[in-house]
Amino acid sequence: MQKSSLINMLENLKAQGHMVPDMNLLKTPEQIESIRKSAILNTAVLDYISKHICAGMSTQDIDKLVYDYTTTHGGIPAPLGYQGFPKSVCTSINNVICHGIPDEKTFLQEGDIINVDVSTILNGYYSDASRMFAIGKVSDRAEKLLKVTKECVALGLAAAKPWGHLGDIADAINSHARANGYSVVEDIGGHGIGLEFHEEPFVSYVAPKGTEMVLVPGMMFTIEPMINEGSPEFIIDEENGWTVYTIDDGLSAQIEYMVLVTETGIEVLTK
């Protein structure tokens, strides 16, 4: 679509009361190609972690694997130093919803579930994804949570269509989580990405269908719902100011994809 036609379409949608992205949020073909290269490295980092993660290793061991692999392949770990974050990756275990900080005293144990959230800068372009890992044999409740979280992300992805709304993704995710007895964290969500680590829009996973920003080709953002066993409420570690815990000590799981809206559908860039 020509730029002038796109601008007119967005102005018409805005006049009808829809939330539309600014033009600077729509990535150019050249930017998309550069971001894809960052995304390829980000996925490779997670693949590398998948081969090494195991019971007995510390979360600091994971951090070192991420830092070493990223930097030896020409990238920079995006979390390192971001707003004071001290490590190269987020490692969130069991009742940690997100932003767990790696350290030498926290060791993975049989039965743990852990989210490893990797973000990469390559030649100035950003990418982001996270995976859940089950350490050895996990409990039935943990296994079910991981299964439903994976299903939520798949349903959210299926609901994402050009000229639809971000709320369509949220409704698909929230409906499936609630149907299985879980809750979705409301105040922490996904985000735009590519030229910066965190861009507009904020991506809610509890918004109603047909609401929030229109999905315009060229938009790039993360789908990363945080699914809790119990309450969606949380507390933030007062000492480090980062780590987010479930308020009721229940388990939490998160899977993050980074996606691009195209003229014909949705392209998954990282997972």
Residue 12 lies in a domain: no
Would you write out the chain's pLDDT as a tens digit for each of its 271 residues? 778 888 899 999 999 999 999 999 999 999 999 999 999 999 999 999 999 999 999 999 999 999 999 999 999 999 999 999 999 999 999 999 999 999 999 999 999 999 999 999 999 999 999 999 999 999 999 999 999 999 999 999 999 999 999 999 999 999 999 999 999 999 999 999 999 999 999 999 999 999 999 999 999 999 999 999 999 999 999 999 999 999 999 999 999 999 999 999 999 999 9
- Within a domain: 52: yes
User: Has residue 49 been placed in a domain?
Assistant: yes
Closest alpha carbon to 270 in 75, 94, 95, 108:
75
Residue 219: per-residue pLDDT: 98
How many domains would you assign to the chain?
A: 1
Taking the model in full, what pTM does it have? 0.95
Domain harbouring 154, CATH code = 3.90.230.10
Rounded Cα gap, residues 192 and 248, in angstroms: 30
pLDDT of residue 1: 73
Please indicate, yes or no, if residue 2 is contained in any of the structural domains.
no
Given this model, what pLDDT does residue 3 score?
83
59 domain-assigned: yes
Is residue 169 a part of any domain in this protein?
yes
**CA gap 102, 62 in Å, rounded:** 8
Give the pLDDT of residue 4.
Answer: 82
Position 14 in a domain: no
**Residue 96 located in a structural domain:** yes
Instruction: Give me the pLDDT at residue 70, please.
Output: 98
CA nearest to 90, candidates 256, 271, 218 = 256
The domain of 40 spans 26-270
142-149 contacts at long range (C-beta below 8 A, 24 or more positions apart): 142/111, 142/113, 142/251, 144/180, 145/113, 145/182, 145/227, 145/229, 145/251, 145/253, 146/113, 146/253, 148/176, 148/177, 148/180, 148/182, 148/227, 149/225, 149/227, 149/253, 149/254, 149/255
